[in-house]
Amino acid sequence: MSSVPSTEMKPLNVALLTVSDTRGPEEDTSGQFLEDSIVDAGHLLVARRILPDDVYLIRALMANWIADGEIHVVIITGGTGFLERDSTPEAVMPLMDKAIDGFGEEFRRLSAAEIGSSTIQSRAFGGMANNTVVFCLPGSTGACRTGWNGILLSQLDSRHTPCNFSGLVLRKPEKPMNRLDEVIGQRSKR
DSSP string, 62-89: HHHHHH-TT--EEEEES--SSSTT--HH
3-state secondary structure of 47: strand
Q: Which of 3-12, 28-37, 93-102 has the lowest mean pLDDT?
A: 3-12
Position 178 in a domain: yes
Amino acid symbol at 26: E
Indicate whether 32 belongs to any domain: yes
Residue 175: band (very low, low, confident or very high) from pLDDT cuts 50, 70, 90: very low
**DSSP state for residue 39 in the 8-state scheme:** H
Question: Looking at residues 106-130, what average pLDDT do you find?
Answer: 92
Give me the CATH number covering residue 146: 3.40.980.10
Task: Note whether residue 2 is domain-resident.
Answer: no
Residue 131 within a domain: yes
The answer as to whether 85 is a domain residue is yes
pLDDT tens digits for 58-88?
999 999 999 999 999 999 999 888 888 888 9
Number of domains making up the chain: 1
Instruction: Write down the pLDDT at residue 156.
Output: 96
Average pLDDT value for the chain: 89
CA-based R_g, the chain, Å: 16
Cα–Cα distance between 146 and 113 in angstroms, integer? Answer: 10
Residue 44's domain spans which residues? Answer: 13-188
11 Cβ contact partners less than 8 Å away, ≥ 6 residues apart: 42, 43, 44
